[in-house]
Structure 1
Amino acid sequence: MLNDILSPARAAWEDLQERLFFLPPFPDELDSLALFSLLLVVGLLMGEWLRANLGWPKVIGYVLAGTLFGPSLLGWISLEALAQIRPIADAALGLLMLEIGRRLDLRWLSHNRALLRATLGEITLSFAAIFLFAYAVVGLMPAWAAAAAAVTMASAPAVVLLIVEESSAQGQVTERVILHTALSAAASFFVFAVVVGVVHAEYSDDWLNAVIHPLWVVVGASIIGWLMARLALLIAALLPKRSLAQVFILVASALLAVGTARMLAVPVFLTLFLMGVTLSFSDQRRTLSYTNLPEGHWLLAIILFVVVGASLPWSDFTWLIGLQAIGMLIVRALAKVAALVWAGGGLSVTKRVMVGIGIQPLSATAVFMAYEVASLYPEIGRSSLSLPLFAAAIMELAGPALCRFALVRAGETAAVDNSKEGVA
Structure 2
Amino acid sequence: MTDLISLASRLAWPLALTLAWMAGELMYRFSGMPRIAVYGLAGFVFGNVAAGYLPPSEAQAFMLLANLGFGLMLFELGYRINLRWLRNNPWILVTSLAESLCTFAAVYFVATYCGTPPLAAGLLAALAMSTSPAGLLRVLNEQASSGQVTERALHLSALNCVLAVFAFKVVVGIGVFQTSGDLAHAAWSSLVVLAASALLGALFGVAVPLWLRRIDNAARDATLAFAIAVFLLVVITHVLVFSPVLAALTFGIVARHRRIALSPAQRNFGVLGDLLSVLLFFFVATTLSWDQVARGFALGLLLVLVRTLIKVAVCTAFARVSGITARKGALSGLALTPMAVFAILLLEQTRRLGVDLFHSLAPLAAIALLLEVAGPLVTQRAVLLAREARSAREE
TM-score normalised according to structure 2 size: 0.91
Output the amino acid matched with 1:253.
Answer: A
Distance 1:34 1:377 in 2: 31
CA contact (8 A) 1:32 1:81 kept: no
CA separation in 2, counterparts of 1:377 and 1:149?
21
Count of residue correspondences: 385
Q: 1:370 aligns with which of 347, 350, 358?
A: 347
Q: Which residue of 2 aligns with 1:40?
A: 17
Consecutive unaligned residues of structure 1, counting only runs of 5 or more, are 1-9, 11-24, 417-424
Q: What residue is the counterpart of 2:30 in the other structure?
A: 53
Secondary structure of the 1:415 match is helix
Match for 1:386 among 345, 350, 362? 362
Mapped to 2, the partners of 1:73 and 1:28 lie a distance apart of 15
The alpha-carbon deviation at position 107 of structure 1 amounts to: 2.0
Task: Give a deviation string over 1:257-316, Cα, whole Å, max 9, x none.
Answer: 0111111111322221121122233x0xx1246574531211110010111111112233
Deviations 1:148-203 (A, max 9, x none): 11112111111100100000111111111111111111111111221221111221
User: 1:295 is aligned with what amino acid?
Assistant: G
In the alignment, what sits opposite 2:256? 280
CA contact (8 A) 1:229 1:253 kept: no
Q: 1:376 to 1:386 in 2, by over 3 A?
A: farther
Query: Residue in 2 aligned with 1:241?
Result: 218
Structure-2 change in CA distance of 1:274 and 1:114 (3 Å):
closer
* 2:181 aligns with one of 192, 199, 205: 205
Greater per-residue helix proportion: 2
Q: Is the 8 A contact 1:143 1:202 kept in 2?
A: no
Root-mean-square deviation (Å): 2.1
Contact 1:94 1:272 (C-alpha < 8 Å) held by counterparts: yes
Q: C-alpha displacement at 1:33, in angstroms? A: 4.8
The answer on whether the counterparts of 1:127 and 1:149 sit within 8 Å (CA) in structure 2 is yes
Q: What stretches of structure 2 of length at least 5 have no aligned partner?
A: none
Amino acid at match of 1:403: T
Once residues 30 and 267 of structure 1 are traced to their aligned partners in structure 2, the CA distance between those partners, rounded to angstroms, is 36
Is contact 2:319-2:328 (8 Å) kept?
no
Aligned to 1:103: 80
What residue in structure 2 maps to residue 317 of structure 1?
293
**1:32 Cα deviation after fit:** 4.6
Letter in 2 for 1:112: N
Structure 1 residues 77 and 44, CA, compared in 2 at 3 Å: closer, same or farther? farther
Q: Distance in 1 between matches of 2:363 and 2:170?
A: 20
1:287 partner SS = coil
**Residue 398 of structure 1 is aligned with which of 361, 368, 374?**
374
Aligned to 2:314: 339
Deviation at 1:59, TM superposition (A): 0.3
1:217-253 CA distance string (max 9 Å, x none): 212312321222222112111232320x222211111
2:24 and 2:165 mapped to 1: Cα distance?
Answer: 30
Could you tell which deviates more after superposition, 105-114 or 143-152?
105-114
8 Å Cα contact 1:360-1:402 kept in structure 2: yes
Instruction: Note the 1:164-175 alignment, pairs <5 A.
Output: 164-175=140-151
Q: Counterparts of 2:9 and 2:231 in 1: how far apart (Å)?
A: 24
**Pairing of 1:14-413 with structure 2 (within 5 A):** 26-30=3-7, 32-70=9-47, 72-75=48-51, 77-137=54-114, 139-237=115-213, 238-243=215-220, 245-281=221-257, 283=258, 286-288=259-261, 292=266, 294-296=269-271, 297-319=273-295, 321-345=296-320, 346-373=323-350, 381-413=357-389
Q: Compared with structure 1, are the counterparts of its residues 251 and 374 closer, same or farther at alpha carbon in structure 2 (3 Å cutoff)?
A: closer
Q: Which moved more, 1:361-370 or 1:110-119?
A: 110-119
Contact preservation (8 Å) 1:358, 1:407: yes
Amino acid paired to 2:280: L
- Compared CA separation, residues 308 and 42, structure 1 to 2 (3 A): same
Residue 260 of structure 2 aligns with an amino acid whose one-letter code is T
Distance 1:388 1:372 in 2: 16
Query: In structure 1, what residue type is equivalent to 2:6?
Result: E
Deviation of 1:374 after TM superposition, in Å, equals: 5.3
Q: TM-score, normalised by structure 1?
A: 0.85
- The one-letter code matched in structure 2 to 1:333 is T
Q: CA deviation at 1:64?
A: 1.6
Quickly say closer, same or farther: Cα 1:313–1:375, change in 2 above 3 A: farther
Equivalent residue of 2:162, what SS? helix
Residues 335 and 379, structure 2, Cα contact 8 Å, conserved in 1: yes
SS class of match (2:7): coil
| Seq. identity, % | 26
After TM superposition, give the deviation of residue 79 of structure 1 in Å. Answer: 4.0
Contact 1:66 1:305 in 2 (8 A): yes
8 Å Cα contact 1:216/1:266 also seen in 2: no
Paired letter, 2:314: A
Displacement, 1:115?
2.7
Structure 2 Cα separation of the partners of residues 223 and 112 of structure 1: 26
Q: Deviations over 1:14-40 (max 9, x none)?
A: xxxxxxxxxxx8443226553211111
Secondary structure of 1:361 counterpart:
coil
Native 8 Å contact 2:328 2:386 kept in 1: yes
Q: Which protein has the larger Cα radius of gyration, Structure 1 or Structure 2? A: 1
Residues 101-110 or 124-133, more deviating: 101-110
Whether the 8 Å CA contact 1:236–1:288 is kept in 2: the answer is no
